[in-house]
Copies of this chain bind each other. A is one copy, B any other.
Amino acid sequence: MKILIENIDIITCDYNSEDIIKNAFLGIEGGYISFISRTKNEEFKPDYVINGKNKILMPGLVNAHTHCAMTILRNCADDVSLHEWLFNNIFPAEAKMEPEDVYWGSLLGIAEMIKSGTTTFADMYLHMDEVARAVSDTGIRANLSKSPWKFDASKKRLANQMSDCFEYYKKWNNSANGRIKVSVEIHSVYLFDEESLCSSAQIAKELDARIHIHMLETLREREESIEKYGMSPVEICLKTGVLDVPVIAAHCVHLSKKDIEIIKEKGVNVVHNPSSNLKLGSGIARVPELLSKGINVSLGTDGAASNNNLNIIEEIHLTAMIHKGVNMDPTCINAYECLKMATVNSSKALGLEREIGYIKEGMKADVILFDMNKTHICPINNPISAIAYCVQGSDVDTVIIDGNIVMEKGQLTTIDEEKVKYEVKRISKKIFNL
């Protein structure tokens, strides 16, 4: 399908071009952005035209760390410690989840993400075949990680599922018209041990895949790592070869000076999850410091049980505010940096920076349009500030992924929302014995 977006203001999120292109024409063909011009291209015959008046176009947002199907557990355990939350609430609930539950939970999460402007997400969860099926069915783009080792929470031990990991990769990597990429999951150094870290790094190398890991989310994780391995989580990952492949490292709240040096040296991609880190009382990652050192910092929502939503716009908003407050310095991070964290930086974390994350001719057509004709955004004295500080998830009007319109005027085209909500309510009741 050939789509033309007329008279549109574009926030590019491109480090190498102008910030804003005003009143442009943007053409989409064969899944790619085929042109951006100041005047109408009369040779381009679109099948579909979108009027850009009172709208802003941005690259689709990239949620670099989530557990999509945890929507099922939304609001199930709040205002308790991470340990209490994870071991006494989440793990027991997850033990009751059947594969099909994860399919429906993922559909709900994907619906929520598309509605708030996310076009790509990086997921780590159980029953990952079901997540892939949901991604494939809905048209969203995803990096799905599969663990070579399975942690059995009830027995507190790891079981080798190396062959499952290989098979998952073979089955799903580059499937769904290339929208699915597969990574290797290492849940964390606290659930893994030295042997499983080494073998997981090895399999990632063999597959030429990324590793997606929880890293230094809590102070307790640091302390337990030093007790268990005699070194920090970052150091044991370095030792076991985990950092020799591209890594998506979620959280990174409690990094030492040495950890930061290693992360910079090895090009580890940090995913900042402000809502989840705040809500679980984990702490606040030192994002301005990491950015100033040239480390790639991206944004994630984490799962809906610790956030409790999958709206990456809120994470942009929070990131643009909390670091200023904590550092008592309103200049330590700016609105545009935060928009870039959720777009171009996140795409780089996922290894997709040649395909998505900023607006340029030749990039894949993952774009979103905000309806800016809203009372709470008026007047738009600065479009970048308006996105970072004013818009709500519900201001996303249109979402295009891989050149396909998956939402228009707030209506999803690939997901039956009422059906999905019905199924997830049923599943949630089953799991919590209601």
Contacts and interface: CB of A to CB of B under 8 A. Distances in A.
Contacts of A97: none
14 contacts: A73-B381, A74-B377, A74-B390, A75-B385, A76-B381, A78-B335, A81-B331, A112-B375, A219-B328, A279-B324, A308-B390, A309-B376, A318-B318, A375-B421
A76 to B, nearest CB: 5
Interface stretch (A184-192, A207-215, A280-288): A280-288
Interface stretch (A257-265, A340-348, A349-357, A424-432): A424-432
A389 B308 contact: yes
Contacts of A318: 318, 321
B309 A278 contact: no
A421 B374 CA distance: 8
B324 A326 contact: no
Contacts of A377: 74
A108 interface: yes
Nearest to A331: B79
Nearest to A383: B75
A379 interface: yes
B277 A79 contact: no
A242 interface: no
A75 B372 CA distance: 14
Given A75-B380, A80-B331, A376-B393, 5 more contacts: A75-B389, A116-B376, A308-B390, A375-B420, A378-B424
A328 B308 CA distance: 18
Interface string A374-414: 01111111100110111011110000000000000000000
Nearest to A275: B321
Contacts of A106: none
A373 B310 CA distance: 16
A328 B78 contact: no
A334 B279 CA distance: 10
A115 B395 CA distance: 14
A311 interface: yes
B278 A379 contact: no
5 A-B pairs with the lowest CB-CB distances in the bound complex, closest first: A278-B325, A281-B330, A75-B385, A308-B389, A278-B321
A319 to B, nearest CB: 11
A307 interface: yes
Q: Is the interface of A mostly helix, strand, loop or mixed?
A: helix
Nearest to A283: B328
Given A281-B324, A281-B328, A428-B381, A310 B75 contact: no
Contact of A79 (B74, B334, B373, B395): B334
Given A279-B321, A376-B116, A75 B329 contact: no
Contact of A330 (B79, B274, B394): B79
A361 interface: no
B74 A379 contact: yes
Contact of A394 (B108, B327, B394, B428): B394
B325 A281 contact: yes
Given A75-B389, A382-B78, A280 B376 contact: no
Most buried by B among A72, A281, A380: A281
A82 interface: yes
Given A308-B385, A394-B394, A378 B71 contact: yes
B321 A390 contact: no
Given A75-B389, A308-B389, A392-B393, A330 B382 contact: no
Given A309-B389, A417-B375, A424-B379, A282 B75 contact: no
Contacts of A388: 78
Contacts of A320: 279
